Structure 1
């Protein structure tokens, strides 16, 4: 599992991208966004291979950074 956590400059909003695999050999990309302290919105997509999942996650990260988000101090969190 790989988590990328991004925040806005004013630290009031967050954007998270997570890649994980499941028991069926598929990969999922979870995108979550919202304000700190409140329930965020989520979007979950399935991919048949890791390459496509990583490409989708990287695209989401780039778009979030264009909108003013940046990697948090924690940066990248691996596993839980």
Structure 2
């Protein structure tokens, strides 16, 4: 599992991208965004291989960075 957490400090907003596997041999990229302490939005996308899932997660991380989010934590388990 790989989790990337990004924050936009001026607006107290966060963007989280997580890559994980499931019992069926698929990989899920879960994106979550919102403001600290409030309800957030969430999307899940399934991929058949890890390479495509990681590439998609990196693409969404780059898009968030272009919108002013900075990487605050990266966890790999």
Shorter-chain TM-score tier: over 0.9
Size of the aligned set, in residue pairs, is: 77
Given the two structures, how large is their TM-score scaled by the length of structure 1? Answer: 0.91
Question: RMSD of aligned C-alpha atoms?
Answer: 1.0
Shift of 1:11: 5.3
Q: Give unpaired runs (5+ residues) of structure 1.
A: none
Question: Normalised by the size of structure 2, how large is the TM-score?
Answer: 0.95
Structure 2: runs of 5+ lacking an equivalent: none
Runs of 4+ in 1 over 4 A off after TM superposition: none
> Which structure dedicates a bigger proportion of its chain to helix?
2
C-alpha contact 1:25 1:48 (8 A) present in aligned 2: yes
**Displacement of 1:78 after TM fit?**
2.6
